[in-house]
Amino acid sequence: MDQRTSYYLLSHLTLFSVKKLRALIAYFGDAETLAALPTSDLYASRLTFSPLEIDCFEAMKRIEGPDEALENAKKRGIRFITEEEKTYPKRLKWIEDAPLSIYVRGALPEEGEKSAGIVGARRCTGYGKESAFYFGETLSNAGVNVVSGMALGIDGYAGRGALSRKNKSFAVLGGGVDVCYPRENIDLYERLLTDGGIVSERPPGYPPKPFDFPRRNRLIAGLSDVLLVIEAAEKSGSFITANLALEQNKEVFALPGRVTDPISRGCNLLIRSGAEILTCPEDVLQYLGVKVRHDRPPKPSFTLSKEENAVFQLLTTDERTIEELMEKSGYPVSELLPVLVRLEILGAVKKGSSGGYFRA
């Protein structure tokens, strides 16, 4: 078993922290020895293991054909990169619990290009949606890569804003890079495959678990030169990501919100603790040393494009499903959803409880 295959097998130990895996590798000498280790010898490390960790280790031992699995992943456009390889992102090498390996679909942020992470609440306000799209759009227009978690809410709007300016955007997932989660962001996921990239430390086919998202957040901070937090409750995932970024000596900008809004409490607390106040994209661009583009996009208005107007005319005050709108507009879902998102940001339409859309 070679080193690369060993790292592939160890990536399936999803219940083990990176710290514990590194301790095991150090104790047994190398990754190859650990990957080939009988379960009975695991206790020789003198570390404690939960029953679930033991089950996870035994499941890894039962994986058949790891070399063939890696080759199949490659054919599907999934790159497997270990920390020993030159293509492993230098930004991740600096974080305390850097992953032993990562999986990538699409591209990785270029080392010489600036990157900004944008995170925030899943259940965000209209103001949060507009702000996320605007900051993603404007930073992208200035040549800054946008990194997010592709989650519902702020992450998704920031990613769509970045892609609207034809620059690259990247997402770090809690599950495998071939698992679109959440499914509601399938349009964004497909765009990222061609106009950016998707990164994960989890193996292909792995469905994300709740504990995977806090671990995922350190990679969002790690791949970013600066982090923007737009609407976050106290002790939320975005609040955790901000603290991880601060631990990594990254500058954090937080968008202030009303003191009466629980969804803004996390941002306001970050500002009180020393985070920079996010007032405009120039705040971030100046910090990154990026020249402001004079042709940067204006703030969203109610001026509709031809496509937006065509879809808007199909809507009434009664909710219409995505399927109905696809049939009447003739647009495929990959084209229809971005138009609906833009209309929602502009305040022209709203999303109903059943997932359809109606005029605001």
Torsion angles phi and psi, residue 97, rounded to 5: -110, 55
Which of 83, 106, 353 lies closest to 222 in space, CA to CA? 83
Query: Within this chain, do residues 161 and 192 fall inside the same structural domain, yes or no?
Result: yes
Beta partners for 79? Answer: 104
In a domain, 99, yes or no: no
User: What range defines the domain where residue 341 resides?
Assistant: 306-359
**Mean pLDDT by 10-residue block, N- to C-terminus, for the chain (360 residues)?**
93 96 94 94 89 96 94 96 95 92 96 94 88 92 94 93 87 96 92 95 95 92 95 84 88 89 89 90 92 54 77 86 90 85 82 80
Query: Within this chain, do residues 196 and 275 fall inside the same structural domain, yes or no?
Result: yes
pTM score above 0.95: no
Instruction: Measure the CA angle with vertex 152, ends 149 and 154; round to 5°.
Output: 75
In a domain, 318, yes or no: yes
Query: Within this chain, do residues 150 and 209 fall inside the same structural domain, yes or no?
Result: yes
Query: Within this chain, do residues 284 and 345 fall inside the same structural domain, yes or no?
Result: no
Query: Within this chain, do residues 311 and 281 fall inside the same structural domain, yes or no?
Result: no
Tokens of 31: 């990754």
In a domain, 297, yes or no: no
Torsion angles phi and psi, residue 349, rounded to 5: -135, 165
What pLDDT score does 27 carry? 94
Task: Judge contact between 194 and 215, C-beta under 8 A.
Answer: no
Query: Within this chain, do residues 175 and 235 fall inside the same structural domain, yes or no?
Result: yes
What pLDDT score does 29 carry? 94
Q: Look at residues 75, 96, 125 and tell me which one is the last residue of a structural domain.
A: 75
What residues contact 43, with CB distance under 8 A and at least 6 apart? 49
Q: Look at residues 75, 100, 131 and tell me which one is the last residue of a structural domain.
A: 75
CB-based burial, 240-252: b 16+ in 10 Å, e otherwise: bbbebbbebebbb
Pairing mode, if any, of strands 226-230 and 115-120?
parallel
Tokens of 322: 């995505």
CA distance 273 to 81: 37
What pLDDT score does 299 carry? 47
Query: Within this chain, do residues 29 and 138 fall inside the same structural domain, yes or no?
Result: no
CATH number where 341 lies: 1.10.10.10
Query: Within this chain, do residues 137 and 284 fall inside the same structural domain, yes or no?
Result: yes
In a domain, 89, yes or no: no
What residues contact 45, with CB distance under 8 A and at least 6 apart? 23, 24, 27, 28
Query: Within this chain, do residues 277 and 320 fall inside the same structural domain, yes or no?
Result: no
Query: Within this chain, do residues 60 and 163 fall inside the same structural domain, yes or no?
Result: no
In a domain, 104, yes or no: no
What residues contact 55, with CB distance under 8 A and at least 6 apart? none
Which of 313, 303, 310, 317 lies closest to 346 in space, CA to CA? 303
Query: Within this chain, do residues 41 and 67 fall inside the same structural domain, yes or no?
Result: yes
What pLDDT score does 293 carry? 62
In a domain, 294, yes or no: no
CA distance 333 to 310: 15
CATH number where 130 lies: 3.40.50.450
pLDDT tens digits, residue range 21-44? 999 999 999 999 999 999 989 888
In a domain, 6, yes or no: yes
**Hey, how many other C-beta atoms are within 10 angstroms of the C-beta on 96?**
11
Task: Judge contact between 136 and 224, C-beta under 8 A.
Answer: no
In one-letter notation, the amino acid at residue 226 is V
What pLDDT score does 296 carry? 46
CA distance 171 to 253: 19
Query: Within this chain, do residues 255 and 314 fall inside the same structural domain, yes or no?
Result: no
Q: Look at residues 262, 288, 314 and tell me which one is the last residue of a structural domain.
A: 288
Number of domains within the chain? 3
In a domain, 90, yes or no: no
The dihedral sign for the CA sequence 136, 138, 140, 146: negative
